Amino acid sequence: MDYKYYLDKGISATNNGKFDDALHSLSRAVGLNPESALAYFSLAIVYHNLNELHSAYASYSKAIDIKPDMIDAYFNRAQVILAMEDDSKLPDALEDFDKAIELDEQFIDALYYKAVIQKKLKDYKGAVETLDKVISIDPEAVYSKALKILIMQKYLKD
Residue boundaries of the structural domains of the chain: 1-67, 94-158
Longest dimension (CA), the chain: 65
What is the overall mean pLDDT for the chain? 97
Q: What is the pLDDT of residues 33-83, one digit of tens each?
A: 999 999 999 999 999 999 999 999 999 999 999 999 999 999 999 999 999
CATH: 3.20.20.30, 1.25.40.10, 1.20.1250.20, 3.30.70.2970. Which one for 1-67? 1.25.40.10
Specify the long-range contacts of residues 56-62, CB closer than 8 Å, at least 24 apart: 56/80, 57/81, 57/84, 62/37
Percent of the chain at pLDDT > 90 equals 98
The fold for domain 94-158 equals 1.25.40
Closest C-alpha to 114, from 97, 99, 135 = 97
Phi/psi zone of residue 146: left (φ > 0), alpha (ψ -120 to 50 degrees), beta?
A: alpha
Rg (CA), the chain: 18
CB 41 within 8 A of CB 63: yes
pLDDT band per the 50, 70, 90 thresholds, residue 157? confident
